[in-house]
Each structure stands twice: as structure tokens, then as C-alpha cells.
Chains A and B, each alone.
Chain A
């Protein structure tokens, strides 16, 4: 790996810019995502910035159990985020549709529509868990720069939740595409 690639890996790890998207959430997770930027948790130490436009973002943070209305919006915004990008599903709702399961207004869970990189479970998850999830997603972006992680274009939306495993911190291990969704334990 040459110097430029190393620099790019490091910069991607240190500068995750987020775009927050509500897929029918009750606002609990949204509040916790904002709380992770407040003085108590201060995600800006990791270079996190909440961006206004999806064009500027690297990481798409999606909350909520994906209602019928939200599906097209989520797909559009996912297309507007430019590569390399990662998706973080915040809360139990986008992962499993939570207590709203079998509701006729829902078209969830999220990984039916998008390839999700990191799940942050919780109802709502704690801000430190969200920060950890964002840090893992930034790590995935860095691994993509080093070609040690499958690209988002080859990842397909998958429904098998059993494939979830912890994200490996070491850059050497090369995970298979089935094991990409990593779960953050708060």
C-alpha cells in the first residue's frame, strides 16, 4: 500500500461526515443521534460532522422502521450519497422493525432495501453506542480504501440476520460479503 493510500485510509477513519435520515422513527433515536454531538459525548473529537446535504456525507444514519412512504426517499438519498459510503442503521427499528413488526404501514426492515454496514441496536441506543457504530462505519470506509472490504456496489441487500458478526478491528482479516453487517454491542 503506497503512501497516498495510507493517508486516505487514515483520513477516512478520522473524518466521517453524517447525513441523518428518518425512516418513520418515533424521534427517540434522532434525539440520541443529536445527543452524541453534544458536549457530554462530543463526537466531533472523531471528526464527525452532521452535514446538511447528502452529497457531502460519507455515512448515512437511518432511524425508524421504514414506512411505505419512506422507502423511495431512502433509496433516493442513498443514491445521492457519493461513494465510498456506508450505512448505519440506528436503533432496533431499522434492524427488525421492533414492536411495529407485521404492521401494514411498514416495508421494513432496512436491509430489505439497502446494504447496511453497521447495526446499532437499542430502543433507543445510547449515544456512546451510536458513536461506536459511526466509528466502525468509518473503519469500514477506510478498509474499502485499502481494498480489504467489499465495495458497497457489490454488496446486495440481505435479509439473513444470522450473518451478523462483530466487525474486526484488525486490517488484515478479510471478511466475506455475507458477514459484513456488523453489530455493535453497547
Chain B
């Protein structure tokens, strides 16, 4: 892959030109699905776009000093890292060249949540600090399971390369590897609501209790950037699961169609779960991830490693 294809992947598909409308679309699907589940009509199709434009036209509170500078920087870092994560997704069949590996993708996926934590603390608001502390605790809880699940997939496939991981295990691999692959995808799916701050794990940005948490001091264009980074996180996180779960096809347009369809399905699933559940307290959330799902993640990775050493 030469520089033009690399740029095309980063800027057109699955990069920015695809990712930004997809981010707005997924935000709309989330709100619409929740509305339909509650028996409402819900927002119009272009709603996230209108919100974004409106926020661009609003003012921002005056900020001074190094913390003001940092507060302006966090949303920009969050958006760029989320967009980079989307650009790395191996949607199209491999064509050589720069292949980001799984570790880079995971780091880029993790950066927005780090930015949220930092933003809450640099806002100096008590609500922002509580929200950041919750986000940090949540991040420590789900990331163990999330990373173990991804590692077990990588270990069962003997590679950290995204292009190789994107291909479903061919029929030659033992059934155990295939089973581990799907177990890993299931564990990643369980972590997604916490990663995307959806119910039942939406406690870092609780509107009623802590005034939207880390976002409390943000307004105008900066808030628009946060909304966009949240949408891009949607695309990146669901896209990661979709690329891991999608069957391997050589036709580019078919690969794109399967990718978008799978992403849409995952967004719908997560939104339905979000609208059917209520927000859990922090201790319940932590207990859920450390006691219930961690066991499965440890099982998955230990069997993956065992299989690796046996072969």
C-alpha cells in the first residue's frame, strides 16, 4: 500500500469522510432506538447534525492559564484519536503497507476516555471531578476484561496484526480456536456499554446526579467536539467488533456492506439494552466486571495460552 491508499484509508473510508457521518448516524440510531423502545417517535434523522451545527455557533466560557489551554485541548485530542482508531479498522481486504496493529488500535480507543478523565479534573468543578473519578474506576474495571478478551482472540489467532485478525478463523483451525474467538467477541460486547457510557454503566456522565459529570463546564464548539468524539467512539468500538466478527470476503463493496450492517446491528443491540436498563451504582458496576465477567475472560485467555503452548 503506497501513501495514497494509506491517505485514502485515513481520510475517506473507513476514515474521516465515512466516520463523521457514520458517527452522527449512530448517535441518531441510539436516540431513535431508545425513543421507539419507550413508545415515542424520537428525534428526526438529521438531529445530531443540527446539534453539532448549533453548538458550533454558541459561545464558550472565558478560560485562562494552563488549565484553560488544557481544557480546550482535551476534546481535540479525543476527536483525533477516535478518528485515528476508526481509520485503522481493517474493513477493506488487505493491500499491504502500513497495517496498524491491535495494540495501537487499543491505545487509540482508550485515549478518549483518558481525555474525559483529564477534562473533568482540569475543569476544577466538583461535579466534573466526581464524574472523572467514576470514569477512572469504570475504566479500570472494564478494561481488564476488555483487554483480556482481545488478548485471548489475538493469542488464539497467533497474531497481533489487525488484517489477520479480521479474517474469521478458516475451517482448518480447531473448533476450540473458533469457540475462543466468539467467546472473546462476546466479552468485548459486554464491555462496550461501559466504554460508550451507556445504561446500565452510564454513571460517569449522569445528568441528574452530577450534572453531566466531566462535561459540566464544557459549552459551544468544545462540547460539539465531545459529541463528535463520542460518535466516533461508537463507530470505532462497534467497528472493532464488526471486523472481528465479519466473515472474510475479497470483494471490497461486499466487505463494506457487511461491515456497515454489522455495526448497525451492534448499535441497535446496545441501544435496546440501554433503554431496557437503569443506571447502576458504582459498586455494583465494579462488582459486575471484577466478579462476573472477569472469570470468563481469565478462562478464555488461559485456554488460549494453553492451546498455543500445546500446538
Residues of A within 8 A of B (CB): 7-8, 10-12, 14-15, 17, 38-39, 42, 44-45, 47, 50-53, 55-56, 58, 80, 82-84, 145
Contacts and interface: CB of A to CB of B under 8 A. Distances in A.
B35 A14 contact: no
A133 B217 CA distance: 27
Nearest to B35: A44
B59 A83 contact: yes
B220 A44 contact: no
Interface of B: 31, 35, 38-44, 46-47, 49-51, 53-54, 57-61, 127, 206-208, 210-212, 215-220, 223
B223 A58 contact: no
Given A45-B44, A56-B219, A15 B54 contact: yes
A42 B60 contact: no
A84 B219 CA distance: 12
- Closest 9 pairs between A and B when the two form their complex, measured CB to CB: A52-B207, A11-B53, A52-B212, A55-B219, A82-B59, A11-B50, A11-B54, A39-B39, A42-B40
Contacts of B219: 55-56, 82
B32 to A, nearest CB: 10
Contacts of A42: 35, 40-42
Contacts of A53: 127, 211-212, 215-217
Contacts of A15: 47, 50-51, 54
Contacts of B51: 11, 15, 17, 47
Contacts of A47: 43-44, 47, 50-51
Contacts of B53: 7-8, 11
Contacts of B58: 58, 82-84
B43 A82 contact: no
Max count, chain B CB within 10 A of own CB: residue among A14, A45, A56, A83: A56
Contacts of A10: 50
Contacts of A58: 54, 58
Nearest to B213: A52
B42 A51 contact: no
A44 B51 CA distance: 12
A84 B127 CA distance: 25
